[in-house]
Homo-oligomer: A and B are copies of this chain.
Amino acid sequence: MPIENAPFSQTEYDRRIALTRGAMANAGLDALFVTDPSNQAWLTGYDGWSFYVHQGVLLRMDGEPVWWGRHMDMLGGRRTCWMHDDNVLGYGDHYVQSTVRHPMQDLAARIAAMGLDRARIGVEMENYYYSAKAHAVLGAELPDATLIDATALVNWQRIVKSDEELAFIRKAARISDKIVQTAIDRAEPGLRKNDLVADIFHAGITGVDEIWGDYPAIVPLTPSGLDATAAHLTWNGDPMRSGEATFFELSGCYRRYHAPLCRTVFLGTPPQEMLDAEKAQLEGIAAGLDAARAGNRTCDIANAFIDVLKTHGIHREGRCGYPIGLSYPPDWGERTASIRPEDETVLQPGMTFHFMPALWMDTWGLETTETILITETGPAEPFCTVERKLFVKP
């Protein structure tokens, strides 16, 4: 059923289904049950803040996918999924957060009714929205089926973006530019951090012209000073202080697509070691972008960056990035490839990454990052335009 104002063309959804079925065939699956909200949206268009109850998409080797969730969310499914209404199913509210019933009992009965009670069914064992209990109940209710770990099977199909998807990421990037610039412009000693975050939210959700802002999958991360030596602390009501660096880890979001962008602001005069690190970081990012070419591997990006840092005497461990695009909380990464020395994913045109060569040191953090597109030829192209540097303000 064509949905008014659907995000993507039916051709695009058909492409996604075909790719996923190819991977299912390779994995020897008869059916696949996906719980990752991003995978659900990517396959069916489903969009709602209902992933806190059990729901998912069942894809067989032919026919439309089936969206299944709480009855009251079935109505949202029928307003956002492209399938016919009889492929959008709901379970009763007495299953919700019950201590005596589990929604997977309802799902198992439906799977059995489809004749899949002896099938090989892929499930996403490593996903926020597929609990250990859900897996145990589904397995017990379908004793003759074989549940097979298909974690990230769909995610891997998402790694190369279509032109329709790239257009969404470009729109998200325009919002990212706006909100990072808002943060840089507004930061000053004495400003309460929550007031700054309020302005960031406002700028992001109003969006840019007709590009309305959706909620990003991660809230603004804006730690200052020693809090910025840790990666994921959120804000409070303390005022910004002179002599401290604050990093802004932000993303615009357009219809669930992201383009993360980080910049750091120092209020006052930065210590020399931070200026030295800035120089190393910028040189390392340039080397990383140059290595981010089709045919190279994800590790080549990480090693190019790490090698430059070494020449500046900085030892950097950990991941330097991940693929991005469509996402829901709690993470905007796609959880497939990683930009790190041990990852050998071959880069292809149309892949998009958050290249994230942040530095978290003993007394400060310095985040300068880019969301990048792997192109047909040449180095990666950043989606955003905010100047790449440490911003210093009085």
Q: Number of A residues contacting the other chain (C-beta, 8 Å)?
A: 83
User: Quick one: copies of this chain in the complex?
Assistant: 2
Please state if A317 and B93 are interface contacts (CB–CB under 8 Å).
Answer: yes
| Binding site secondary structure of chain A | loop
Q: In the bound complex, do residue A234 and residue B133 qualify as a contact, i.e. CB atoms below 8 Å apart? A: no
- Assess whether B360 is in contact with A75, with CB atoms less than 8 Å apart: yes
Name the contact of A230 in the complex, choosing from B72, B132, B230, B342 (C-beta under 8 A): B72
Check if A335 is an interface residue, CB within 8 A of chain B.
yes
Hey, what's the 0/1 contact readout for A218-237 against B, CB within 8 Å counting as 1?
11010000110111111111
Are the CB atoms of B198 and A322 closer together than 8 Å? no
Interchain nearest-CB distance for A134 vs B (Å)? 7
Cα–Cα distance between A227 and B52 once the two chains are bound (Å): 19
Cβ-defined partner of A229 (8 Å) among B49, B75, B230: B75
Ordered by A's residue number, 16 sampled pairs between the chains whose C-beta atoms are within 8 Å are A48-B233, A49-B221, A72-B231, A72-B360, A76-B227, A79-B227, A93-B319, A97-B322, A125-B132, A130-B131, A135-B135, A195-B206, A201-B201, A212-B235, A215-B234, A329-B329
Chain A interfacial positions (CB closer than 8 Å to B): 5, 47-52, 71-73, 75-76, 78-80, 93-94, 96-99, 123, 125-136, 149, 151-152, 192, 194-195, 197-199, 201-207, 210, 212-215, 218-219, 221, 226-227, 229-237, 255, 317-319, 322, 329-331, 333, 335, 338, 340, 342, 360
